Amino acid sequence: MLDLRQYTCLGAALRDALDRFASEICLIEADRDREKVRLTYSDFKETALPLTRALEDADFDPGDRAAIIMTNQSKWLISAYSIFYCGGILVPLDYKLTAHEHLQLLAHSKAKVLFVEYHLWRAITQAPDFHAIKTKIVLVTEVPLGADLAGAFRWEDFKRKGAPDFVMRQKDDVACIVYSSGTAGRPKGCVLTHENYLEQCRSLTAWYPFWPGVRYLSILPTNHAIDFMVGFIGPFVCGACVVHLRTLRPDFVRDAFVRYRITYVSLVPMILKNLERGLRAKFDELPAWKRFFLNRMIAINKLLTRRRPKVRLSRTLLGGVHRGFGGELLALITGGAFMEPSTMQFFYDLGIPVVNGYGLTEAGTALTLNDLKPFRADTVGKPLPGVELRILNPDGEGIGEVAARSKTIMSHYLDDAELTLETIVDGWLLTGDLGRFDGRGHLQLFGRKKNMIVTEGGKNIYPEDIETAFDGLPVKEYCIFAANYVWPQKELAHEMLLLVLRLDQNQQFDSKLLAEIDSRNRTLPDFKRVGAYLIWGRDFPRTASMKIKRQILAEEIGKTGERKAAVTL
């Protein structure tokens, strides 16, 4: 891999990687069983440079911002490289947000350029607030013949001849603005520097290196911190290959493991559980004697891999299972949300190590990771090289808020000095997560101090962002909380959003109101829906400017209301 200590910016490291690993395959893109793209590092460079030159000619200057709204695909990475080559700042946006939310974040980030897929661009152009868009250049991929682009350009046609000028950036220059929460509340644009990413890449690859020949399956959205690092920067500076799938149907994901002999993949709990369900169903279909034999092999593997993984041995003992994953899988990397220990143990017992970690966008990618010496399903691992963690105000059990200090911690929140001051105190990032260290230096998490949930799909959901879906609900007042914020659980499981209702005087909760709540809830994507409601008998405490005092209300409900009084929707 490249020696990242020699670099001051991502653009320079990537540029050298494209030359150093010129003949290696860097990207494969498949749609169902059809392979659409296969690029060497040299091909990647040849595709990116004419785009970069066109960007420069269109006055995309160093320090300008460019957003990407795309599903995982080769053009995502090529566009990102072009942005860095010009000295620009990348704003990766979540493609699952609504068109209205995309417009809000484009405005908040002041993106001058937008790279976007056609179906997403079409939705943006149809949004009521589209006329207010200030983004000057829009490059659209996968445009059907004859489609109206509303002033945008086709990505494939936006190129110019001639070598572009490479713009060197310094370590403390901004590389990316990554949004860690929604839009209705307070957009949290994490401003991350080139140093943040270079340091993160160094610490991750120190424990889990990539090399030419490694194939990384990129399933988590590339706009997410994990995939951006482990599915782009990390593999590229090491000459490895990234595999993109245009459909994430479980059937095709399973096929991809085998077809591309995947080495590493990062997953969120929902996908890992789906794989577990599929495997368990297959095991259940086995004849009794085969099942008996399998169970014996699992037991032997478990015994022999107690201290550390022995992947070759496991592949011999449990060949059938490993062939189902392509036969070359070294580890499943998980993070971004709470993972059931039993699911991780299930895979480890089959000889497939699960590397669990913990991080947040504000901290780059990961703060801790399991080093598999030995495998632990009950922790999120140890601090990565260069990361200092401490537990603030620990209680009698040693549990307190996790604070982090590292060169990977973001510079600040975009245009929000107040929130930055609350979040980074004396150089320490206050994570809002509750944890403690065990005797072996592993971090264990026990819930959150902050009013938010993280779904099994790895999405951070802030209740304030959901409330607009209930605007005009015929009640006196309402408020949404993370249930574990109201009733702290000292665990990260069973996270749910709770709708607290204060009815009007003499108002009864009836089937009409329930239907209205249900219908509002259904306007939200499934992972953002409220899970239960609670009728509250007192007026909400409010500030002089009539804002709900959320923390005080949550404490009141937590003290006097019971969780079991909440009715599941």
Partner 1 sequence: MPTANQTLDEILNLAAAHFKVPREKLNADDDFFKALGVDSLQTLDLLTRLEHHFHVELPDYELQGVTDFRTLAGRIQARL
Binding site for partner 1 (CB under 8 A): 32, 71, 96, 119-120, 246-252, 270-271, 274, 456-457, 522, 525-527
Cβ–Cβ < 8 Å for 423, 362 = yes
Separation CA 437–CA 25 (nearest Å): 41
Closest CB to partner 1 among residues 69, 384? 69
- Give which of 538, 535, 534, 530 is closest to 556, Cα–Cα: 538
Least distance in Å: CB of 71 to partner 1?
A: 8
Report, in Å, the least distance between residue 98 CB and partner 1: 8
On whether the CB atoms of residues 282 and 275 are closer than 8 A, the answer is no
DSSP 8-state symbol, 540: P
Residue nearer to partner 1 on the CB measure, 234 or 458: 458
Instruction: Name the minimum Å distance from CB 96 to partner 1.
Output: 7
Answer whether 99's CB lies under 8 Å from 127's CB. yes
Rounded Cα–Cα distance for residues 172 and 192 (Å): 9
Q: Which is nearer to partner 1, 386 or 457 (CB)?
A: 457
Residue 256: in which H helix or E strand, if any? helix 250-259
Question: Rounded to the nearest whole angstrom, what is the least distance from the CB of residue 329 to partner 1 in the complex?
Answer: 20
Name which of 250 and 541 has its Cβ closer to partner 1.
250
Number of neighbouring beta carbons within 10 Å of residue 391:
17
Q: Which is nearer to partner 1, 126 or 247 (CB)?
A: 247
Going by C-alpha positions, the residue among 202, 217, 237, 170 that lies closest to residue 24 is 237
- β-bridge mates for residue 478, sequence order: 501
507's tokens: 């108002």
Residue labelled with tokens 């990234």 = 242
- CA neighbor of 35 nearest in space, from 244, 215, 180: 244
What is the nearest approach in angstroms of partner 1 to the Cβ of residue 277? Answer: 9
**CB 344, min distance to partner 1, A:** 18
* Minimum separation from the CB atom of position 244 to partner 1 (A): 13
Helix ranges (DSSP H) in 467-509: 483-486
At its nearest, how many Å lie between partner 1 and the CB of residue 32? 8
Comparing CA positions, the residue from 494, 501, 489 lying closest to residue 548 is 501
Q: How far is the CB of 534 from partner 1 (least distance, A)?
A: 19
Nearer to partner 1, 456 or 464 (CB): 456
Q: Which residues contact 57 (CB under 8 A, 6 or more apart)?
A: 160
List, in sequence order, every residue forming a beta bridge with 37; answer none if it has no partner.
29
Of 270 and 391, CB closest to partner 1: 270
288 touches 242 (CB < 8 A): no
Crossing angle (nearest 10°) for helices 118-125 and 99-109? 90
Report, in Å, the least distance between residue 327 CB and partner 1: 24
Give the nearer residue to partner 1 in terms of CB position, either 271 or 482: 271
Task: Give me the residue label for tokens 């484009």.
Answer: 106
Nearer to partner 1, 122 or 202 (CB): 122
Q: Considering beta carbons, is residue 246 or 502 the nearer one to partner 1?
A: 246
Distance (Å, rounded) from C-alpha 476 to C-alpha 545? 17
Q: Where in 511-558 does DSSP place strands (E)?
A: 532-535
Contact indicator for 152, 178 with CB cutoff of 8 Å: no
Q: How far is the CB of 104 from partner 1 (least distance, A)?
A: 18
Our CB check for partner 1 shows the closer of 119 and 490 to be 119
